[in-house]
């Protein structure tokens, strides 16, 4: 699977009654496609994966594939208990998704061999990118073993452990070759991309692309002032409250005119003061892009 450019992680919109707003999701993805993302990752972390029912997850993936129509790869979130992950994977395959971002099996502690068996079962359904974060902390040898599993095509890093990741990249490149994909999956990944590029990793997910694609694309194309004047203060705002990595994206979309509804519990929406600060930051970013 050829992934390149800025990776788009859409939110999952909810209507006034709290139900999945499929028409808004289609509009959201359509607007993102107009800015040429490298791929669409639907019903993943930014899409509140852990708050969706199995039916909502399947419908969100179907909306994404219907909207994208093969223009770029569509990958769906999957994970949690093995039975749930397999059900999500099969529904995604039926909807025409190209692959999966495999979320951690929450609260389940296992050996490397146990996690490999979990991954192997899901990868039998669709190609898998493993998400390293939370309870999933992999040593280089385990990643090499996972990279040999048929259907496992990459690793999204959400830890930010540069020493571990450098050793992992070197081991995989030595044992597997260049075809295995690594990408930066930290929240607001743009801020850490200088460090990841030093490890030989160019690909990253962009939460900003979901609500301000003009800014995300400008940074991708080398607008370095955005790092200090937009991304750094954005990360400071995001870090004030747990869960703001998602809440901030939905607030940004509402500020840009798309009513995607609130976040679901246990996440909380931005305070009014934080919404005002986000609005000012978006304005700063847009002014820098247009200058």
CA nearest neighbour of 238 among 274, 192, 190, 265: 274
User: Is the peptide bond preceding residue 100 cis, with omega within 30 degrees of 0?
Assistant: no
The reported pLDDT for the residue numbered 110 is: 72
3-state SS, residue 199: coil
The pLDDT of residue 50 is above 80: yes
CA nearest neighbour of 285 among 204, 235, 236, 225: 225
On whether the CB atoms of residues 201 and 182 are closer than 8 A, the answer is: yes
The pLDDT of residue 46 is above 70: yes
- The catalytic residues are 131, 156
pLDDT digit string (tens) for 281-291? Answer: 999 999 999 98
The pLDDT of residue 108 is above 70: no
The reported pLDDT for the residue numbered 107 is: 57
| H-only helix segments in 151-243 | 162-175, 193-198, 208-211, 213-220, 225-226, 232-238
pLDDT digit string (tens) for 137-191? Answer: 999 999 999 999 999 999 999 999 999 999 999 999 999 999 999 999 999 999 9
Q: Compute the mean pLDDT over every residue in the chain, rounded to the nearest whole number.
A: 96
DSSP assignment letter at 258: -
Q: Model-level pTM? A: 0.96
pLDDT digit string (tens) for 11-26? Answer: 999 999 999 999 999 9
Q: What percent of the chain has pLDDT over 70?
A: 99
What is the rounded average pLDDT of the residues 261-271? 97
The reported pLDDT for the residue numbered 135 is: 85
């Amino acid at each position: 699977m050829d992934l390149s450019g800025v990776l788009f992680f859409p939110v999952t919109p909810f209507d006034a009654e709290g139900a999945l707003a499929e028409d808004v999701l289609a509009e959201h993805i359509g607007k993102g496609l107009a800015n040429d993302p490298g791929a669409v990752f639907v019903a993943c972390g930014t899409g509140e994966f852990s708050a969706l029912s199995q039916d909502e997850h399947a419908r969100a993936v179907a909306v994404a594939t219907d909207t994208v129509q093969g223009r770029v790869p569509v990958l769906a979130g999957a994970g949690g208990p093995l039975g749930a992950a397999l059900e999500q994977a099969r529904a995604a395959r039926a909807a025409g998704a190209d692959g999966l971002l495999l979320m951690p099996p929450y609260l389940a502690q296992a050996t490397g061999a146990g996690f490999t068996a979990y991954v192997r079962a899901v990868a039998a359904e669709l190609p898998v990118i493993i998400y390293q974060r939370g309870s999933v902390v992999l040593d280089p040898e385990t990643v090499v073993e996972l990279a040999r599993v048929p259907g496992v095509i990459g690793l999204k890093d959400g830890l930010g452990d540069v020493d571990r990741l450098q050793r992992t990249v070197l081991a995989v490149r030595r044992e597997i070759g260049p075809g295995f994909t690594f990408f930066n999956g930290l929240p607001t990944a743009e801020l850490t991309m200088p460090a990841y590029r030093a490890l030989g990793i160019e690909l990253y997910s962009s939460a900003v692309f979901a609500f301000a694609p003009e800014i995300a694309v400008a940074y991708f194309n080398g607008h370095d002032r955005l790092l200090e004047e937009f991304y750094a203060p954005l990360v400071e705002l995001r870090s004030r409250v747990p869960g703001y990595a998602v809440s901030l994206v939905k607030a940004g979309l509402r500020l840009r005119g798309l009513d995607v509804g609130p976040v679901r519990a246990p996440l909380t929406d931005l305070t009014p003061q934080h919404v005002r600060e986000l609005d000012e930051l978006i304005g700063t970013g847009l002014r820098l892009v247009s200058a």
